[in-house]
Each structure stands twice: as C-alpha cells, then as structure tokens.
Amino acid sequence: MYMYSGHDSTISNILLALGVWEPQLPVYNVMVLIELHRTLDSGYGVKVFLRNTTAVPPHLLTIPGCEQLCPYDKFLQLTSQVVPTDLDTACKVDNPDFVVPIAATP
C-alpha cells in the first residue's frame, strides 16, 4: 500500500486528470483512493473512490470511457495524455538563477 497526502489543488488535479472532477473546491479532509485489483482472469483493474466526508463511506467513481473496475491497460490508455513520459523535460527549470533550496536536499 502506498499513501500520499496533498492539498485541495492536488486532489482537484487528480480528479480532473481522471475526468471525474466536479467544478468545486474539495472539502477539507477529502480523500481519493486509487486501488489496483487482480481480476479473475489474472489481469488487473483500477477502482477510484472519493470520500467527501467522514460521515459516509467513500463512493465509487466511474472514469469516463471505462467501467467501475477499469481494466489496467484501458486505465493506462485513458490517462496517457496526462502522465509525463519524459521527466527530465517535465521537471526542467527554465530560470537560470534557480537554486535548489537546502531543505530540499537529503
């Protein structure tokens, strides 16, 4: 299991990238769960849940163009336009005066 934390802006962007964002600010303490499941045919599928409140369990989202259990290959295809493939280019610093903050180094 991997767990990451973020802010309203990162949650909004994940939901937007998956095509399931409703144009509103996420509430405080919102949670997105992305689960990888092994299917009966030895394949894999992805489920996405959203929890808006602690009062009710997370609800299952359906990624447009997919089923609630989205086959892994289809999930990769649907998200390919928003997943960077060249991290050197995506993370390139354009400002020649940029200095990595000391706190950011190990």
> Which tens digit of pLDDT belongs to each residue from 69-91?
999 999 999 999 988 889 888 88
- What integer is the mean pLDDT of 15-38? 88
pLDDT at 104: 54
- What integer is the mean pLDDT of 32-61? 91
> 53 is in which domain, residue-wise?
8-99
DSSP state of 102: G
pLDDT at 88: 86
| Closest C-alpha among 23, 31, 20 to residue 75 | 20
Percent of the chain with pLDDT over 70: 96
DSSP state of 4: -
Overall number of domains in the chain: 1
Is 106 part of any domain? no
Whether the Cβ atoms of residue 37 and residue 49 lie closer than 8 Å to each other: no
pLDDT at 92: 84
pLDDT greater than 60 at residue 105: no
- What integer is the mean pLDDT of 21-37? 86
Is 3 part of any domain? no
Is 2 part of any domain? no
Is 84 part of any domain? yes
Is 63 part of any domain? yes
Is 60 part of any domain? yes
Average pLDDT for the chain: 87
